[in-house]
Structure 1
Amino acid sequence: MRIALIAGVEQEAEAFLPGQHDRLEQHGHLSVRFVRHSAHEIAITCCGVGKVNAAIAATLLAGLHHAELLMIIGTAGKLSAIAGDCFAIHEAVQGDYGAQRPEGFAHFTAGSWPIGVARVEAFRACPLPDVGLPQARIVTGDSFVECPDHSLRLRDGLSGDLVDMETGALAQVAQQLGLPWAAIKATTDDANGASAGDFQSNLLLAARRAAEAAEQAISRLQ
């Protein structure tokens, strides 16, 4: 299988099969590392933080690599009390897409017309081989969450377990291109006032945790 693998920051991308590559290519601002793993051909890049960067990288690698699966790995903040520190993502929604109304923000399915009755339909991931990870629903937005009140709004309003800045964009690209997508995320923080420091302290460990789980899952793909 040909897999396009993206991560938001360098430490997350480098944690996947660290130091291994068959070749390296530069495409615009993206450095792409090509590696073979358990008969699968993988193109991996650090897209940069945020939804636009994720969408650009996913679209580029889908065409460049003729990808059969789009996948994102890396880190996330935790919104809910879900047990665990590394998760297979089964649903993604975008938490900053919708309509700003006098009574508050109305969430809509990303890409839909944000007028009328608010409705959110999650992007559903394709199932990965079981490597012992709990499943989680992730909320994506172009803001790093350091506010516990906003965390509660994302948790309660969108049934979010985790929050990040890229997965929902990759999922939307996959849907537009007619490709399956998958994601594995390990948590660094609780999306609260201590998030910035916790993210920095826990980034390397969480990045490697997610990468190892992705290596195991990909090795079991048919």
Structure 2
Amino acid sequence: MKIAIICPMEEEIGYYREHLDMKSRGIIGDTEMWDAEYEGHELIIVRCGIGKVNSTIAATLVAQEGPDVMINTGSAGAIAQDRQIGDVVIGEATMYHDADSRPFGYELGQVPSMPARYKAPENLVEGFLEAYRNTDLNATVGLILSGDQFIHSVEKVNWLYETFPGAQCAEMEGAAVAQVAYKFGIPCIVIRSISDTASQDAEVLFEEFVVTAGKNAAKVTLDYLKHIA
């Protein structure tokens, strides 16, 4: 299979570098790409940069190569109170928390003419669950929120949790990647690991644990690729 793996930051790519022979394709704009092989799969590893526009550009570039699956991995801030630093969230769906076209009859978080939520195919969710069971990590399946905001207050966390039932964590790229995949008809899933509690001092925790979070999300992803080999 041809698998595209899109990560926002260099810190979130480190585990892939350690376990793959990544051959650089170069940089297009600010999007850097590498080729690799793993367990018989052809991989395209992408560093997209932070935020929805950067991830949209990267996902659009890689979508034109016709990957069989698009996976967005990296770190996220916890929204559900029982999520701990290092936990992995397998995104059964992802959606925007900062889109609002409700005056025109759309749901909060829904971009006009697009789905309110981008659901991952069941076989991807189940495959990642099987892969996770072979690790020593804690993982859960749930909703992942995306928006151009670094969440850093208890008030915002509480609002997100109450407004978007089932939300487990928040990040800044996943829904944009999923929207591009939806437009191109490519199966897509978002896999994130908790780097911070998205509340007071979130930036301190993020700086300390972003590498660990990136590693955990990447580990589950490579275990998934081994599982389906």
What is the TM-score normalised by the length of structure 1?
Answer: 0.88
Percent of paired sites with the same residue? 23
* Cα separation, partners in 2 of 1:156 and 1:202, compared to 1, 3 Å: same
Count of residue correspondences: 211
Change (3 A) 1:122 1:149: same
> Whole-Å Cα distance in 2 between the matches of residues 172 and 98 of structure 1?
16
Structure 2 gaps, min length 5? 134-138
For residues 115-130 of structure 1, the aligned pairs below 5 Å read 121-126=116-121, 127-128=124-125, 129=127, 130=130
Quote the RMSD (CA, aligned, Å).
1.9
CA–CA separation in structure 2 for the residues paired with 1:82 and 1:179: 32
Where do 1:85-104 residues align within 5 Å?
Answer: 85-99=87-101
Per-residue deviation, 1:22: 5.1
By percentage of residues, which structure has more helix? 2
Corresponding residue for residue 31 of structure 1: 32
Say if 2:89 and 2:168, in contact at 8 Å, map to a contact too: no
Q: Cα gap change, 1:22/1:81 in structure 2, threshold over 3 Å: closer, same or farther?
A: closer
Q: Distance in 2 between matches of 1:100 and 1:178?
A: 26
Map 1:187-206 onto structure 2 (within 5 A): 187-206=194-213
1:53-202 alignment to 2 at 5 Å?
53-63=54-64, 65-83=65-83, 85-99=87-101, 107-112=108-113, 121-126=116-121, 127-128=124-125, 129=127, 130=130, 131-132=132-133, 133-159=139-165, 160-202=167-209
Question: Which secondary structure state, in structure 2, belongs to the residue aligned with residue 3 of structure 1?
Answer: strand
Q: What is aligned with 2:223? A: 216
Per-residue displacement from partner, 1:166-193 (whole Å, max 9, x unpaired)? 0010111111111100121110111101
CA distance in 2, matches of 1:108, 1:78: 18
Unmatched tracts of structure 1, length 5 or more: 114-119
